[in-house]
Structure 1
Amino acid sequence: MKTFDYARADSPEAAVAAADEETRFIAGGTNLLDLMKLQVMTPAKLVDISRLDLNRIEDMDEGGLRIGALVANSDLAADTRVRSRYAVLSRALLAGASGQLRNKASTGGNLLQRTRCYYFYDTASRCNKREPGSGCDAREGFNRIHAVLGTSEQCIATHPGDMPVAMRALDVVIVTLKKDGDRRRIPIADFYRLPGDTPQIETVLYPGELITHVELPPAPRGRQIYRKVRDRASYAFALVSVAGIASVEDGRIASAALAFGGLAHMPWRDPAVEAALIGQPPSTEAFNAAADALLTGARGFGHNDFKLPLARRTLIAVLRDLTGDAS
């Protein structure tokens, strides 16, 4: 690990004032410290935000919840309001890591997890995300866990999170504080970036911008499911995951929100998938049409070709559970 400067902030304003392009904020450090030990990330300065007053879950006037960026994943998953009104989020959090990691990992930090691409972690390998312009060894390498949607010539890495997938289905808003003192409210649909020609830029955050809260809208109607397919039942990253919310009225699907993990550089949500379902009776035909919409433009890179049929089967299984269709 390379040497770095350290500062402890006593307010969000002090944290952003102390930050620059070579600075990283640290709270639980469950991802950042690993990357620093491997010298994948070498910030010149860490600003410790772990003692800021951002660790509460508060009711909002319109019926949603305001979650502080420092709320631990274990506390968020266990909150009775989250468990009863946002079951998909609680289940995603519980699927995401070991109990020890959930006790340390923060809500804001979880949103900013870096990819678990083998080549990103191996500093002897070429990786455009770690070293722009160096190349991407994953494309012709062992790419079993890699993306099949939204890829580019520069990068085929996947987003590793579970919580952000559920939050994408729930349409959360991410609240931030910028260095100039302005606050932003960023819909999660606009928060992440596809790799394109700049895979090293993963979100729309400016240098030194701090996530302070996440806002959950009022609880959605219908059933909620989070399903994660992985290599082992214990702590492992998703090969495919689905966060699903749907309601059925008068024998037809009245609403649907579906987000996917393990398939792309970001939590993936395609309006065409939901459009293929809404207004249709629950059926194998409708579910296959949704899967066709999801996989339009999908491409495997050899070792991860299996993700295409796996994504179809997982989506159909989730839709059957959501709608009560046993066909």
Structure 2
Amino acid sequence: MSVQAFELRDDDRRPPVDDLVGIVQRGLRSKPKRLPSWLFYDERGSQLFEAICEQPEYYLTRCEIALMDAHAGEMADVLGDDVRLVEYGSGNAVKTRMLLEHLHRPVSYVPVEISPEPLRTCVQELAEGFPALPVQAHLGDFTRPLRLPIPPRAARRTVLYFPGSTIGNFEAREAAELLRKMRAEMGDGGGILIGADLKKDVATIEAAYNDRAGVTAEFTLNMLVRLNREIGSDFDLAAFRHRAHYNAMAGRIETFLVSTRDQKVRVGKQQVSFGLDEAMQVEYSCKYSPEDFAALAAKAGLEIAHAWTDAQQMFAVYFLVRAGTTKA
């Protein structure tokens, strides 16, 4: 495998300490208090997320892998020959490998990942299965403009691959903004292959974010561990608990860290007060019907050219193109 431009330039998601302190302070001044979900993904957080995906309640990964197993060949046919595949949030690239096995003469693979160790692991593991595949790894924040590397040869189209249900972690306005950014980065004739969790019964959804083993709770609380380590705050982990519930009106899981007592937390030079049972919002996980997702794509000037679902109709993968370019 040819690995090009593999410089772990951590330039986006790990701001300088002073900037991170400011980000946290501003979030804690909000009403209600909130922290950005990207704070989950330090090295330990990335490991815990992989463990979440293995929990029996967490249907999302299991259903998406079944979907890819059944339809990856069809997806590759739709994408066509000589594709440059750019993946947002590559992680362990399990689903990516399933797609790459079917792609026709891929030009290159560009994994974009926030955490250096998962990115290294992704590259190393792909080297074993795809020794001829050029890889141009990029460490950084996919929500910010990307300087994509020059491919080793001309690509017929650039396809941005966004597996999982990460698009659901963005509020509607932010999700549309991200899709507009992706639309620009894919260029003329490009496309977006993107996963989205489908709406379903509330009990199934809520169980996925409140696993019995407590892995998701540990993942959520690890955000505070990271802040204590990186900015010197003094969050007491024993004084916060994980809470996730489904807001049917908004169509999303809402995840909070809830204070278990009246307390004060030092963040930089500030003391932040928390009341008993005060909830600090840390993540959304939006669920979409196909109609919901088509409407979201339209706000970004995109349309659904192809759609695939697993046999249980739990999860969907869509291929998006510029609006007005699909055949009638």
Normalised by the length of structure 2, the TM-score is 0.25
User: Highest relative contact order (Cα 8 Å, sep 6+), 1 or 2?
Assistant: 2
Whichever structure has more helix as a proportion of its residues is 2
Whichever structure has more strand as a proportion of its residues is 2
